């Protein structure tokens, strides 16, 4: 198969496997999604979803959250790891959202990435999932699978994102990035598959007999 043919098969097969693409992080509005995505850095979605109900019970909008002390936020989000920095960022970005954006999460990449603790991936998730703006956030699962499927050389997440955007229709990006994550967790995990085990790897590369060493992001 050519790279374009592999991409077409992946797009079609993942849509069959995952016709629905529920957002893994529990949230009720763009602000709670932003906070949840920030907390998910180096932490599982499952753990984040256990922590956020207590946090959002205190405040689920920027004006309320900026009135919660960093110490209170820290105590709640501690199970997510990197708690002191995440707590400070949540507190600070809440204040900035009120002061600069009228208490609303901006639907703008540049404005989002200017907030404390919000990098390109976090901004992409919020743009895609809160505002339905086409984006292709690349996490560790997507970076790994894109290499196993020879859709990118995987030199960096920036390159992986650029390569995937070129291969797949723009209108598919928001659902497809979630489908790749779902598949990576369920069938093509870091330890469960080495590029020779799961259905898609075997279909794309039937003659591959040696595992693929992937570059970390």
Angle at the Cα of 214 (from 213 to 217), degrees rounded to 5? 155
- Please give the Cα distance from 201 to 59 (Å, whole number): 44
Determine the distance from the C-alpha atom of residue 68 to the mean position of all C-alpha atoms in its chain, rounded to a whole number: 26
CA–CA gap between residue 166 and residue 85 (Å, rounded): 35
Measure CA 43 to chain center.
11
Residue 121 a catalytic site member: yes
Q: Which residue has the tokens 């507190």?
A: 91
What spatial distance separates the first Cα and last Cα of the chain, rounded to whole Å? 26
> Is 60 an annotated catalytic residue?
no
Helices (H), the chain: 3-17, 30-39, 45-58, 62-65, 70-77, 83-101, 109-113, 120-131, 140-148, 157-167, 173-186, 199-204
Angstrom distance (rounded) from CA 203 to CA 43: 32
Neighbours of 153 (CB within 10 A): 12
User: Which residue is catalytic, options 11, 74, 139, 194?
Assistant: 139
Active site (catalytic) residues: 121, 139
């Amino acid at each position: 198969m050519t790279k374009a043919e592999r991409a077409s098969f992946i797009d079609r097969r993942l849509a069959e496997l995952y016709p629905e693409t529920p957002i893994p992080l529990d949230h009720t509005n763009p602000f709670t999604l932003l906070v949840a995505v920030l907390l998910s850095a180096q932490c599982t979605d499952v753990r984040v979803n256990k922590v956020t109900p207590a946090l959002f019970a205190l405040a689920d909008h920027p004006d309320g959250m900026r009135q919660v002390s960093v110490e209170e936020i820290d105590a709640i989000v501690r199970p997510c790891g990197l708690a002191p920095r995440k707590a400070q960022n949540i507190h600070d970005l809440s204040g900035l959202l009120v002061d600069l954006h009228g208490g609303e999460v901006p639907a703008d990449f540049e404005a989002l990435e200017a907030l404390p603790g919000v990098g390109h991936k976090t901004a992409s998730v919020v743009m895609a999932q809160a505002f339905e703006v086409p984006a292709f956030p690349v996490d560790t699962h997507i970076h790994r699978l894109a290499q196993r499927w020879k859709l990118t050389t995987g030199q960096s997440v920036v390159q992986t994102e650029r390569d995937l955007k070129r291969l797949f229709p723009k209108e598919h990006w928001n659902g497809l990035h979630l489908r790749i994550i779902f598949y990576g967790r369920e069938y093509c995990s870091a330890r469960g598959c080495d590029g020779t085990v799961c259905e898609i790897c075997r279909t794309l590369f039937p003659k591959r007999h040696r595992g693929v060493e992937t570059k970390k992001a």
